[in-house]
Chains A and B, each alone.
Chain A
Amino acid sequence: MRRPRLPALPAATRTPLARLLVAACFCALLIYPWIYSKYLTTTLTQWLPDTSTAFVILAFTVMGLGLNFVVGYAGLLDLGYVAFFAAGAYIAGFLASEQFANAGSVVFGGTVLPGTPGIHLSPWLVILIAAIFTALLGIVIGIPTLRLRGDYLAIVTLGFGEIIPQFVRNGDNLGGFNLTNGSFGMNGIDGLGFGNRVHHAIHALPANFLNELDSRWYYWTALALVVVTIVSSILLRDSRLGRAWIAIREDEDAAAAMGVPLMRTKTLSYAIGAFFGGAAGALITLQAGATSPDAFSLQVSIFVLSMVILGGIGNVWGVALGGILLAYVNYKGLFAAGNTFNSTFGTNVDIPEYSYLIYGVAIVLFMLVRPEGLIPSARRRAELHEEEEEENLVPESSTA
């Protein structure tokens, strides 16, 4: 058998069919809020997530894609990604709530009325600031930890994933200053919207036009963030920086000997992963209107990591699919399955209760059957199926 000519880059985005598929998926996701309302009355409803749930699914997908920069590209096993989720969430809380009412009233494009105490920045700005701040936090955490390799790195990141939630839990008395409200968390966080800006710009529009946005807009914002993350992933993957990441993943020493600055390159992947984690965290918090330290458990880190593994480490499309699928199962699928199961068999089993059992079994099965994930990157396929490839090579090398 002739060895297939392997393309330089994962083939997924190269064929017209794949492009068409991606475009179709995007369009379907774009019009999903309407699809949902159309099928509202059918039996499908209980299987379809409502727009708010779909928003959460996409927001978590952004986290999966963000973690893919770290785990998939640079090959750094990060078990504490939840730290960035927490950072993004709290920054959003600080900048868009009455948390700092003592500071007076700073309303800069916020969705609240002028004169409301606390800091209320424009939510779009909040997302950006949260992302940038979280990226900086990624650098601060990364500089000491990324010197470690392999298992040691995983353990230390695990530690940071616990430290950040502990910090916010105990952050209600930092030398007398209440930063985080401790275990109560923050409430009354503003939502997405343009405040009264749209009305100010075009007076013909009603006074509260797009002032505060409904759940569909959250959904579309998350979708936009997914697109930005995917595009950034692809652009960076096919660049000097992306090559350096993969080189580090393949052989750190050889990469250094070829002139790749290890610390800087690794820290950059960490910072970019943190950037998207922070953005997603902020967005989720703006939607929920509240946040608390209990939301940031190790399970979130594992959940996001599972998206990357399930989808296909290092492949953007795989991770996007894995993220949507896993988040769907977690936030909708299991409930729907549980209801169907109970109504069919007349039982009363709380299926979502067993979610981590189900995920655990699923991950074990996946690792056994298809370790490269749903849509593997061509690189990973080359790595994991080396033996089979080599069997195929024998006839060719004998004729060469």
Chain B
Amino acid sequence: MTDELLVDARSVRKEFGGLVACNDIDFTVERGSIVSLIGPNGAGKTTFFNMLTGSYTPTAGEIVFDGRDIVGLPQHKITALGIGRTFQNIRLFGAMTALENVLVGMHARLDSGLFRSLFRTPLQRREERQGRAQARELLAYCGLSPRAERQYARHLAYGDQRRVEIARALATDPKLLLLDEPTAGMNPRETNAFVDFVRKAREDRGLTVLLIEHDMRVVVQVSERVTVLDYGEKIAEGTPDEVTADERVRSAYLGTKPVA
């Protein structure tokens, strides 16, 4: 059973003072699937993401990733176990080049430390060379032109910044890729291209993808399962069709008729 589940979160709860951001959420992700987490603003989606990546520690509950309880592990260890992410508002390292951004993503996969770097050992040089080549490949894979590789991330166009961010997340060599509103600010054509890209990346790299998404067309197109959060509660779960037909989801998104 656990073999098929990459993520198995049980009654995960997060409180900020008196505010319950995530109220005992049960949530599972099957290996190799593409799953969406949707809900109105403030529903607790990003909070849930942050608990998966370890930047928040749940108030209660457990999160099993790949057969291992990850609650309380520091972020970098969770990344090393295989969770890579992008951010809702792009958070690249602005004063680093696109290539360097991706190399930072590889941090956990490379292991030259202080002394190897100081003495430029052959091992360090080779690792550095291979890392750079790999980073270039990843950037090309995500559709960044080679010309942009050496530009500072903050000088890149918005679309390119998105590409670099995904390349950087892929550089951590994740089993699970978390995408936080990846299509925000994209036009319909870019959005379609993105949907194709996510599918392709899953096939090529054996990924499992969990995304937070507002654009329902994307959700319906790309995801196999959808979980809906509202006010920190899970209100629905199922295939995109089931979820969009659900009465509670509709009222959460569109509001309920006022009761006379």
Contacts and interface: CB of A to CB of B under 8 A. Distances in A.
9 contacts: A5-B150, A235-B117, A240-B110, A240-B128, A246-B95, A247-B93, A258-B169, A382-B95, A383-B95
A261 B113 contact: no
Nearest to B87: A254
Contact of B103 (A243, A253, A379): A243
Interface of B: 53, 55, 74-76, 79-80, 85, 87, 91-97, 99-100, 103-105, 107-110, 112-114, 117-118, 120, 124, 127-128, 131, 150-152, 154-155, 157, 168-169, 171-172
A286 interface: no
B91 A253 contact: yes
A244 interface: yes
The secondary-structure label for the interface of chain B is: helix
A96 interface: no
A259 B168 CA distance: 11
Contact of A259 (B97, B105, B113, B151): B105
A254 B96 contact: no
A258 B97 contact: no
A386 B110 CA distance: 32
Interface in A234-281: 235-236, 239-244, 246-247, 250-251, 253-262, 268, 272
Nearest to B174: A259
B95 A262 contact: no
Contact of A383 (B107, B109, B131, B154): B154
B100 A8 contact: yes
Contact of B94 (A243, A250, A255, A397): A250
A389 interface: yes
Contacts of B157: 397, 400
Given A244-B104, A246-B100, A251-B91, 14 more contacts: A6-B151, A6-B155, A8-B150, A241-B113, A243-B104, A247-B96, A250-B93, A254-B93, A256-B75, A258-B79, A259-B80, A259-B107, A379-B95, A380-B95
A259 B172 contact: yes
Nearest to A3: B155
Contacts of B112: 239-241
Contacts of A7: 150
Interface in A287-338: none
Interface of A: 3, 5-8, 232, 235-236, 239-244, 246-247, 250-251, 253-262, 268, 272, 379-380, 382-383, 386, 389, 393, 397, 400
A262 B108 CA distance: 12
Contacts of A259: 76, 79-80, 105, 107-109, 172
Given A8-B100, A241-B113, A254-B87, A260 B76 contact: yes
A241 B114 contact: yes
**A contact patch SS:** helix
Per CB-CB distance, the 10 closest pairs between chain A and chain B, nearest first, are A259-B108, A239-B117, A259-B79, A379-B95, A250-B93, A256-B75, A254-B91, A261-B76, A247-B104, A259-B107
B97 to A, nearest CB: 5
A272 B114 CA distance: 10
B74 A261 contact: yes
A258 B153 CA distance: 16
Contact of A386 (B93, B124, B154): B154
A254 B91 CA distance: 7
A8 B102 CA distance: 13
B155 A268 contact: no
Nearest to A380: B95
A382 B53 contact: no
Given A6-B150, A257-B55, A240 B91 contact: no
Contacts of B103: 240, 243
A202 to B, nearest CB: 31
Given A8-B100, A258-B79, A383-B94, A393 B155 contact: yes
A335 to B, nearest CB: 39
A389 B94 CA distance: 13
Contacts of A246: 93, 95-96, 100
A3 B154 CA distance: 13
A239 B104 CA distance: 10
A239 B96 contact: no
Nearest to B80: A259
A347 to B, nearest CB: 48
Contacts of B107: 240, 243-244, 247, 258-260
Contacts of B92: 251, 254
Contacts of B53: 257
A257 B91 CA distance: 11
B76 A256 contact: yes
A97 B157 CA distance: 62
Contacts of A379: 95-96, 152
Given A6-B155, A259-B76, A386-B154, A240 B117 contact: yes
Nearest to A262: B76
Contacts of B152: 6, 379, 382
A8 B168 contact: no
B87 to A, nearest CB: 7
A258 B80 CA distance: 9
Nearest to A253: B55
A7 B94 CA distance: 14
Contact of B95 (A3, A236, A250): A250
B114 A268 contact: yes
Nearest to B124: A239
Contacts of B109: 259
A397 to B, nearest CB: 7
B115 to A, nearest CB: 10
Given A8-B99, A239-B124, A243-B96, A260 B104 contact: yes
Contacts of A262: 74-76
A237 to B, nearest CB: 9
